A = this chain, B = another copy of it.
Amino acid sequence: MVQAAVMGYGVVGSGVVEVLTEHRDSIAKRTKEEIGIKYILDIRDFPDSPFHDKFTKSFDDILLDDEVRVVAEVMGGVHPAYEFTKQCLEHGKSVVTSNKELVATKGAELLRIAKENNVNYLFEASVGGGIPIIRPLSQCLAANDVIEVAGILNGTTNFILTKMIRENMSFEDALAMAQQLGYAERNPAADVEGHDAGRKISILASLVYGKHVYPEYVHTQGITRITLQDVAYAASWGGVIKLIGQVKRLEDQTLDITVEPMLIEKSSQLANVDDVFNGILVRGDSTGDVVFYGKGAGKLPTASAVVADIMDCVKHLKKRKYLDWVDGDASLVKPYTQTVYASYLRVESQLDKQKIIAAVSDVFSDVREIVRANSDDQELAFVTGDMVVADQEKAVAAIEATGIHVLSKIRIADF
């Protein structure tokens, strides 16, 4: 019997306890060891829980109990999760987590401490909920150079965009519905501003490229400015707008890493990833495109990923898994303004249509107009060719100077 502890009895934590309890026999069979839950740490009281005798409010109960070999940190947030994780690792306990904020912020340091203490720090559940992505990326695709990772990494924003695309619902109405259904928090900023997706792509990039790419290096833009007009133009163009977290290594070895809305073609394998689902495309030099798809969040999917990590720790109590990256700095990342991509533009002006087209074509390359039914008066939309972002910004300024208002500019995906 190996003893585990669960820190945090919220949605994921109670799910972890539920999965460990309900699947006790099949887990023991596969792990060749029974896994017990010795403590559940939470500051709240749960007198009616069937597990009430396991609750503690004292972290030291866990830390100082040598029987506890694996700890699931499912508290969320950086503090005190960071301090608790660090101390557990230093005391020779493996830690598994779904806490993407902590992994994205302190991953390199915690992995180093785990290594020094010959224990594991695993975080399959931090990206993609129940979709196995960390382990396939680090192991199964090991004999590959990963060229690019691009994913729909946040279920809430994907739900909102799906409602906008399929039901012509406004952003505000779709957000309200997501909140009503419990998909979005009352304060939805972390989701709709792209920060949640930013943490996840930062974890994936660190894993793939072996150096910690901190979230603050990631150009992050949410979906709050996407309108139904943009959605309609995207459809006319033959695609959809999705919030994409992506990273690719450029020729000079720096990373183009961003979270932003993108136009993706209907034929892309990410175009049909709808509702609260996540999809992650991994482009390898040998494997070609592999896509991982599934529910990106939710109590049981996430909990089952945490439990799979607990099982992996139990199987590797004396051996470290090769999950590793070293510290990194801002020089890893190409400044956003120096990256290159094609854009979609929506503009508005009192000017004559031909003059607008001429003005846009004058400063952007390969300009092609997109037409949609029932378009607003004085509104035009275009797709343009590849261009350095700084030049795109200058081009936008030049257009604006002629009395054309640029309402939207959205990146066009290359996958």
Contacts and interface: CB of A to CB of B under 8 A. Distances in A.
A198 interface: no
A111 interface: no
Nearest to A291: B293
Interface residues of A, number: 50
A131 interface: yes
A335 interface: no
B319 A319 contact: yes
A129 B288 CA distance: 11
Interface in A292-330: 292-295, 298, 300-301, 303-305, 307-308, 310-312, 315, 319, 322
A351 interface: no
A315 B305 CA distance: 23
Nearest to A305: B140
B292 A292 contact: yes
A120 to B, nearest CB: 13
A337 interface: no
A289 B277 CA distance: 10
Interface string A95-135: 00000000000000000000000000000100001111001
A10 interface: no
Contact of A295 (B288, B293, B304): B288
Most buried by B among A140, A292, A308, A312: A140
A293 B322 contact: no
Contacts of A23: 143-145
A108 to B, nearest CB: 17
Q: Tell me the dominant secondary structure on chain A's binding face.
A: mixed
A288 B308 contact: no
Contacts of A288: 130, 294-295, 298, 300-301
A236 interface: no
Nearest to A210: B29
Which are the 6 A-B pairs with shortest beta-carbon distances?
A132-B140, A143-B307, A130-B287, A290-B294, A286-B304, A291-B293
9 contacts: A23-B145, A131-B290, A132-B141, A142-B312, A286-B300, A287-B294, A290-B293, A290-B294, A290-B295
Interface of A: 19-20, 23, 26-27, 30-32, 124, 129-132, 135-136, 139-145, 269, 272, 284-295, 298, 300-301, 303-305, 307-308, 310-312, 315, 319, 322
Given A142-B307, A286-B303, 8 more contacts: A20-B143, A23-B145, A27-B142, A130-B287, A142-B308, A144-B304, A269-B293, A290-B292
